[in-house]
Amino acid sequence: MKKIVMTVLAAVFFILGLIGLMIPVIPQIPFFIISVLLMSAVSSRFKKAFTETKLYKKHLEKHVEKHRRLEAWLNGSEEEGKAGMKKPEALNA
């Protein structure tokens, strides 16, 4: 059920992006980005195809990896961050 809802939402956002291409008042880029993110969450094949593009590797890969390291650090799998920062005691609870 969740896959169906996310796929329908991805299609709706994609259509809104197409409408944004025709009507200059509506921004199309945010709708296309949301559509790609939703489809990546639903389909591993789509996600693999997207993450192998030059656009992803050039502009997004470093940010995604940075977010993964930060998330791992906050979850406690790394005691010190990349810059040698110790995790605040409040987050250790």
Q: Is 47's pLDDT higher than 90?
A: no
Q: How confident is the model at residue 70 (pLDDT cuts 50, 70, 90)?
A: confident
Give the residue extent of every domain in the chain: 1-52, 53-93
**Tell me, what's the pLDDT at 92?**
54
Torsion of Cα atoms, 83 then 72 then 88 then 79, to 10°: -70
pLDDT value for 89 = 57
Cα separation of 73 and 68, whole Å? 9
